[in-house]
Structure 1
Amino acid sequence: MSALQKRNDAVDINGFTNTVTTDNHITSAGSSWYFAVCAIMGVAALAFMGLSFKKHRSQRIFHYITAAICMVACIAYFAMGSNLGWTAIQVEFPRSDPKVSGLMRQIFYVRYIDWFVTTPLLLADLLLTCGLPGPTILYVILVNEIMVVTGLVGALVKSTYKWGFFTFGTVAFLFVAYSVVIEGRTYAKALGADIHKTYILCGVWTIALWFLYPIAWGLSEGGNVISSDGEAVFYGVLDILAKPGFGALLIWGHRNIDLARLGLHFKDPEDHANSIGNEKHRNGADSRSHGVTSGTDATTTTNTTTTTHV
């Protein structure tokens, strides 16, 4: 790690003065960890895109969504590794521990921009898998956005009122968890054992991890208990498991599931052209068949007429 720290001078190039100067922030080690997570997210995005080519184009929606999740996270972690996308907020609980000492703590708002984009996509992956109705999916995503925004506002508030926003976010999360665990499971069960198994595996994985995010928030942006480097590791591990880890489970579970079973139908230009060609071919065959039949009938009629005349 020491050699890596010597090569990583992002915290020196992009210093700790933004709107104000922070004295409670990541170190070179934290920056290096953020860059490592950035690399993991980037590799995962490329892997999911690569795996999509093994599927027909009309069957790739889950690959595309999952790759997009990791792609956005990759950019966010690049920003944090570069010591960008943050502001300094006065802490509510000053600490004597040197690792968290100081009155102004570094808050990475870019993390919440990441979550605002990626968590709805993640929920779309899950809730499309179980065949939940469109209006319900949209409603769950809206509540999820409330959860993310209240978390950001709470992180940017320096007074005890931050815990009010934390409470709003926690209640919103509990609604999302209920929708995934209870409602989604009921719909998935009706679609077949393989779909139900995939949904349960991915759903339990996601909600179990999401329960840890409020704890991470309370120890870092909220309570100023762990250092900014500790915050980086906590959130980074959770994001790796919740995005590339979740994506791997989901793509593996969908390997033999046809999207039509989920009520999802996407047309492909080649399929549409082939369908038109096949239809024209059938129509031509029908016409020729009709013409042969008419000719036979005409011959039979002529013969019958001739025989009668004789």
Structure 2
Amino acid sequence: MISPEQVVEMLKPTATAGPIPTVIPTPPQYQDSSTAGHRTLWVVFALMLLSSGFFSLLSWNVPTSKRLFHVITTLITIIASLSYFAMATGQASSFVCSAAKDHHKHVPDIPYTECRQVYWARYVDWALTTPLLILDLCFLAGVDGAHTLMAVIADVIMVLSGMFAAYGDNKTAQHWGWYAIGCVSYLFVVWHVAVHGTTMVRAKGVKVTRLFASLALFTLAIWTTYPVVWGIAEGAHKMSVDTEIMAYAVLDLLAKPVFGIWLLISHRASAETNVDLGGWWSHGFGSEGRIRIGDED
């Protein structure tokens, strides 16, 4: 006959080597902006808007024929202010999700989804404003239309490649392939604007040559930093969205308002920087031979 004590001993669980591991699915992880990022976007929007107003005031008493740089530079900051307003109000971003894994020592790797916030308005901004910046530099240097057009097309390809890369899976060749295409396109921009522009600007004299060299070097140094930030932030996801916003904000302020102030003040002080578009800019096509009374220039 079995005693009650024996029954209790038989019902006790046997000892195991350790606790049974429990695998809990990892929910999707989101990388998005916080209060610091939103405040940065609003501050840059305000600075871009103020810059647009300041550039407009600088052109107030300038004849239309000499207002080319003023118009282009003002458009750059107006477009940038609209872009930052869209980002600050939360209307211009989306999440890009890709597969990732949590690596563990004693249990299988746990797959999960990683989603990062991408501001698509930033690429719309760059696709419109960077060609205008190229026009500023090409007009200043006197670059011919063929090289100017090639520089603009290469620049647009560069920006669109960055956008395609941002929306691609960062674990595939799609992501870094578009990034490589963008970098190659940037080299074409450097060739047409900086290298060819340096040759063309010499015909305008020493003063304009020095101004172009300074502005071109300043701009290309900033533009070279953009793909570095992109590679760390949107490429490798090693930078937070807030830090990414702040990095791009500094670069945008340098590349647009600071560049614009430098160009317009230098242009105001040097008549050699004027651009002759053959009368089309101020009077339109078919106006040759007309007698114009009251022209200031």
Work out whether the TM-score is over 0.5. Answer: yes
**Partner residue, 1:237:** 250
Q: Work out which of the residue numbers 58, 66, 88 in structure 1 matches 2:65.
A: 58
Amino acid at match of 1:203: A
> Which has a greater percent of strand?
2
Q: Residues 261 and 59 from structure 1, CA distance in 2 versus in 1: closer, same or farther, beyond 3 angstroms?
A: closer
Q: Residues 277 and 115 from structure 1, CA distance in 2 versus in 1: closer, same or farther, beyond 3 angstroms?
A: closer
**Partner residue, 2:97:** 90
Matched residue count: 253
Q: Please list the CA deviations of residues 250-282 of structure 1 after superposition, one character each: whole Å capped at 9, or x if unmatched.
A: 11221144478644343656x99994559xxxx
CA contact (8 A) 1:49 1:67 kept: yes
| 1:183-202 alignment, distance < 5 Å | 183-202=196-215
**Partner residue, 2:191:** 178
Q: Residues 206 and 277 from structure 1, CA distance in 2 versus in 1: closer, same or farther, beyond 3 angstroms?
A: closer
**Partner residue, 1:284:** none
Q: Residues 236 and 277 from structure 1, CA distance in 2 versus in 1: closer, same or farther, beyond 3 angstroms?
A: closer
Q: Please list the CA deviations of residues 33-72 of structure 1 after superposition, one character each: whole Å capped at 9, or x if unmatched.
A: 0000000100001111110113112100100100000000
| 1:220 CA drift (Å) | 1.0
2 CA distance for matches of 1:275 and 1:78? 45
Q: Work out which of the residue numbers 131, 147, 150 in structure 2 matches 1:136.
A: 147
**Partner residue, 1:249:** 262
| 1:154-303 alignment, distance < 5 Å | 154-158=165-169, 159-161=171-173, 162-258=175-271, 262-266=275-279, 268=282, 275-276=291-292
Q: Residues 152 and 275 from structure 1, CA distance in 2 versus in 1: closer, same or farther, beyond 3 angstroms?
A: same
CA contact (8 A) 2:99 2:113 kept: no
1 CA distance for matches of 2:141 and 2:228? 28
Q: Residues 26 and 95 from structure 1, CA distance in 2 versus in 1: closer, same or farther, beyond 3 angstroms?
A: farther
TM-score (norm 1): 0.75
**Partner residue, 1:120:** 131
1 CA distance for matches of 2:230 and 2:101? 16
| 1:9-158 alignment, distance < 5 Å | 23-91=30-98, 103-158=114-169
CA contact (8 A) 1:116 1:148 kept: yes
2 CA distance for matches of 1:126 and 1:64? 14
Amino acid at match of 2:116: R
Cα RMSD (Å) of the superposition? 2.6
Q: Please list the CA deviations of residues 56-93 of structure 1 after superposition, one character each: whole Å capped at 9, or x if unmatched.
A: 12100100100000000001011111122111112477
- Give unpaired runs (5+ residues) of structure 2: 1-27, 104-111
CA contact (8 A) 1:80 1:108 kept: yes
| 1:143 CA drift (Å) | 0.6
1 CA distance for matches of 2:217 and 2:102? 36
3-state SS, counterpart of residue 234 of structure 2: helix
CA contact (8 A) 2:267 2:273 kept: no
| 1:102 CA drift (Å) | 7.2
TM-score (norm 2): 0.79
CA contact (8 A) 1:80 1:110 kept: yes
> Which has a greater percent of helix?
1
1 CA distance for matches of 2:254 and 2:99? 30
2 CA distance for matches of 1:94 and 1:73? 37
**Partner residue, 1:12:** none
